[in-house]
Structure 1
Amino acid sequence: MKISKEVKTALLALLAIALLIFGYNFLKGNNLLANNRTFYAVYDDVEGLAPSSPVTINGLQVGTVSGIRFLNKTGAILVSMNVQNEFQFSKTSKAQIYGGGIIGGKSLAIIPDYDGPMAKSGDTLPGEIDEGLLELVNDRLTPLQNKVEKAISSTDSVLFAFNDILNPESRQNLKQSLANFNSISEHFKNITGRTDNMLKNNEDKLSRTLSNIDKTTANLSKLSDSLSQVDIAQITRDLETAIHDFKSIASELNQGKGTAGKLLKDPTVYDNMDRATRQLEQLLQDLKLNPKRYVHFSLFGKKNKAYEKPKDSLK
């Protein structure tokens, strides 16, 4: 059977179209001859993920991202991926977008989970986004940047305040204060040296003084032992007895009992003593004025003299 040129041209054109489609999909990472599985994941933001980005499981590339499109009017994005590897994982396995370095782009990793029913082609996996290097650095550097800016601002304020404080007059006062401090330090050094010399020169005296203190402490200890042996209870009882006796005497004096009580309380006793004192004084006065009346020596007899009443010196 002879094939015409038109048929050959048509076959070549179809073959070229098939090769073009196959090559295009192969360049996109889709092998049309392989038994691929297609999975989906939904994201709010794909973080720069692009078609033909690698799909990995535990770091091994098992497929590529085949398509990215909007899912609905709310802005959700549907990502489809082809997985050529027959590695099994459950429907709860997560499709995680990761990467995003300074040079490399984003990739898609399937975090396998083995609990529950196994995933089949056409299933939608839970999607999540892992922080990339740049995002992580930005998250860490942003607080540090804020702190550095605050520190710089505080440092500027401190420097301005310091410059305001350290005017020429303040600098001069500071220099004078440092000079005074050096002088004080020198005086203190001299005093310390003198104190050391004094301690060295009086070392024997200090030793004797400390020895005397030790002896005094020992004597005080002996005195404390002696005091501890004193019968304080007996002394207290004797003192209480003496106080009781003194109270009894004072009570009897207040009640006018006894000679001393009558002397304090009975006015008659006082009047009698007062009269006796007056009479004794008059007798002594008369004895001084008329001694011959009481003592008289005469060879010729006694001649009585008329009695003269003594003057009452108490009136």
Structure 2
Amino acid sequence: MSNELKVALLAIAALLLAFWGYKFILGNNILEKSNTFQVLYDDIAGLQEGTAVQINGVTVGSVTGITLLDNDDQQVLVELTLSADYKIPKQTDVVIVADGVMGGKKVYLEYERPCSGDDCAESGAFLNGEIRGVLASMIGTDDLGAYMEQLKDVMGALVDTLNQTLLDENSNSPIAKSLRNLEATTANLQSSTRQVDGLLRRSSGAIEGTMANINSLTSELNSQKEALASFIANADSLSGQLVEADLRKTMAEVNATIAGLQATLATADRALSGISMTMEKLSSGEGTLGKLLQDEQLYYDLRELSTSTDSLMEDIQERPYRYIPFKGRNRVKRYDRKDEALESAGGSN
């Protein structure tokens, strides 16, 4: 035998062994005689190929195929492969149950009694499918009702205990106090609601009259909306005209004030020009005042005149009789001689 033939035979054997191992892992031993069955489910709840099929906890086969059908209900076709040593009735239920709380699945075959002869399902037959939840899977359908009754009794006792401990009228727990406060608040709200309802009932006539008046006023305003629009437009136009007229009046007053100010400034300018000319004339010695300011001799003459005037006034005050007219000249001379005598006497002393 050549080496090439040995290699070919070895490769074929390896492929056959790998195929057998794959089928064996999936629970289908091709070296043993087996029967296949089909089951339709609306939902397989995560069932996978290779899942063990058991009867009373004994593995008798496995799930060897899962196919999603292209029908209206989109059902799932599951194929089971069982050892030919195990016969199952035609009314066998193929139940998918939860294998613990982690989400694993198992398949149980359930039937009332074993079969024999024609009562046994033939290979390729369809069986009934069923799915059970976690609680039903752990407890079982027979004990589920009793368990629920026990659970109901336990929960009832727990609720009664909680009610007595937390919700009793004499309890001092925060929950009981909160509930009592809530009850009082609800009672107050109900009383307030009744009062508001009574107030609304008593005031319904006035409210209806008010609403009718409002509706009437609204209708009247709606019917007069064109007149109101015209009135508003006229008021707006009048306001604009008043503002414009007031602005024109103000501008006229401002212009008049500016004109008066300009006239005043012109008059002041002329006055300042006259004063400037007068000062120039005074500085050049023109006119009487200019000459007084420029002629020093005239100043001394005026000063001497002032001194003489002062002497005259003093003499008038001391000898007024000299300046009062008398009828006789001799009397004047007599006063003169008297004054001379007084002056002589004063000089000798």
Higher relative contact order (CA 8 A, sep 6+): 1
Higher alpha-carbon Rg: 2
Taking structure 2 as the reference length, the TM-score comes to 0.39
**Between Structure 1 and Structure 2, which shows a larger proportion of helix residues?**
2
Taking structure 1 as the reference length, the TM-score comes to 0.43
